[in-house]
Amino acid sequence: MKLLVFIAAVFFIPSKVVSQDLSGKWYGKITQGPGGYASEYAFELEILQKNEELSGISFAYYKEDVVAKFNYYGFFEEAGRIVLQEGLVLEKKTPPQWVVCIKRMALTYRKADSVEYLEGEWAGVGITDGEACVPGEVYLSKTPHIPQLLPENVRPPLDDTLITVALPVPEAGDSASALSGPSAESLPVPGGRSLKAGNQVTVRSPDIVVKIVDYQILDGDTVTVYFNEEKVVDRQLINKEPIILHLRVGYTAQPAKLLLYADNLGRIPPNTALMVVEDRKGRQRIKLESDYERSDVLYIWYEQ
């Protein structure tokens, strides 16, 4: 399998990008077609631009299996293209069977609703065997309010588990017992939308903090969030700056319910949010997805 790692990269960007300041941190993902190790990888790119010279750090990771961090230099070519050449390997963790790819990416810059994007395709060859890697696509968005690059301490991959434990689908006539709490009909789901089976977590303290951020790429998702029957977030844009909720979960036979209602689908459907649930024991991260047909829900159990 060829690993999606950025030893060399080429960006093709319209000429208007030269006048843009690309400095900052770009978050997103890169996909890989059938035959690759995984269908997508999280990807972060730090860019420092001085006139038409570029330098920075790229960082790819996949669950706990992969960490790949490199520095690079770059420059603008004619017609607005820029070339990024990765060099020194700063950090690497990969399964032994993977072959690192020398990558080329063709990206286009655009700006929509005050959010900047770099998007395009990539192709490459294996660094050891020279064989073609399975190509894919690239999606990046620029994080607002980045004070400076952090060349010595790039944000590491999440050290806690992404939990997506689906509750069993209730059998006919037994929805209340299957949910072990209030029936789904009691949850406020505007617009006549259905409710997904949902995910669940267990917390060890009644007072919790829930942080809501956009999942991977910033694409303009706007959400309304309900905690049980109470609206706690109203039509708010989610990005990398978290929406912070301080919630109290009771010790009962019923789980608390945090419902994600999609006010739009963003640029890349469906509407996706990462819920970071913190209690005195630690932190759990859960991805929720909602669209115009169904709303996702997180069931939160409290155990002493």
Least confident among 7-11, 93-97, 114-118, 228-232:
7-11
pTM, entire model: 0.47
Q: Is residue 30 part of a domain?
A: yes
End-to-end CA distance of the chain: 45
Give the residue from 69, 44, 236, 60 showing the smallest Cα distance to 142.
Answer: 44
Least confident stretch, 15-19, 133-137, 138-142, 284-288: 15-19
Predicted local confidence at residue 300, as pLDDT: 93
183 and 59 belong to one structural domain = no
pLDDT at 179 over 60: no
More confident site: 153 or 120: 120
Residues 30 and 25: their CA atoms lie apart, in Å, by 15
Mean pLDDT of 234-256: 86
One DSSP character per residue, 126-142 reads: ETTT-PBPP-EEEEEEE
Rounded average pLDDT over 99-112: 76
Residue 255 lies in a domain: yes
Residue 123's Cβ-count burial label (10 Å; 0-12, 13-18, 19+) is middle
Predicted confidence band of residue 3 (pLDDT cuts 50, 70, 90): low
On whether both 129 and 189 belong to a single domain, the answer is no
Confidence of residue 163 (pLDDT cuts 50, 70, 90): very low
Does residue 154 lie within any of the structural domains?
no
Q: How confident is the model at residue 172 (pLDDT cuts 50, 70, 90)?
A: very low
Give, in order, the Cα–Cα distances in Å from 160 to each of 67, 157, 164, 295: 15, 9, 13, 25
Domain count, the chain: 2
The letter for the amino acid at 11 is F
What is residue 34's three-state secondary structure? Answer: coil
- Verify that 47 and 116 share a domain, yes or no: yes
Of 11-20, 104-113, 224-233, 265-274, least confident by mean pLDDT is: 11-20
Residues 124 and 244 in one domain: no
The C-alpha atoms of residue 190 and residue 153 are separated, in whole angstroms, by 43
What average pLDDT does this structure show over 165-183?
Answer: 36
Band of residue 225 on the pLDDT scale cut at 50, 70, 90: very high
Domain of 65, in residue numbers? 2-142
One domain, residues 239 and 281: yes
Specify the amino acid at residue 213. V
The SS3 call for residue 198 is coil
Which CATH number characterizes residue 107's domain? 2.40.128.120
- Asked whether residue 90 carries a pLDDT value surpassing 90, the answer given is no
120 in the same domain as 60:
yes
Q: At residue 87, does pLDDT exceed 80? A: no
Does 195 fall in a domain? yes
For 98, the 3-state DSSP assignment is coil
Whether 14 and 124 share a structural domain = yes
Q: What 3-state DSSP class applies to 250?
A: coil
Same domain, 218 and 273: yes
Q: pLDDT, tens digit, for every residue of 33-46?
A: 888 878 888 888 88
130 or 213: whose pLDDT is higher? 213
Q: Which of 89, 117, 142 is the last residue of a domain?
A: 142
Q: Residue 259: what pLDDT? A: 93
pLDDT for res 19: 60
Please tell me whether residues 193 and 269 are part of one structural domain.
yes
210 assigned to some structural domain? yes
In a domain, 166, yes or no: no
DSSP secondary structure letter of residue 155: P
pLDDT band at 161 (very low <50, low <70, confident <90, very high): very low
Q: Is residue 121 part of a domain?
A: yes
Tell whether 84 is covered by a domain: yes
Give me the sign of the Cα torsion angle 241, 62, 217, 166: negative
Average pLDDT, the chain: 73
One domain, residues 6 and 126: yes
Q: Which residue has the higher pLDDT, 56 or 65?
A: 56
Most confident of 19-23, 225-229, 296-300: 296-300
Scan for tokens 């609703």, then name that residue: 113
The verdict on 134 and 181 lying in the same domain is no
Q: How far is CA 298 from the centre of its chain?
A: 18
pLDDT value of position 173: 36
pLDDT attached to residue 226: 92
Of 91, 124, 142, which one is at a domain's C-terminal end? Answer: 142
Q: What is the pLDDT of residues 125-136, one digit of tens each?
A: 777 777 888 988
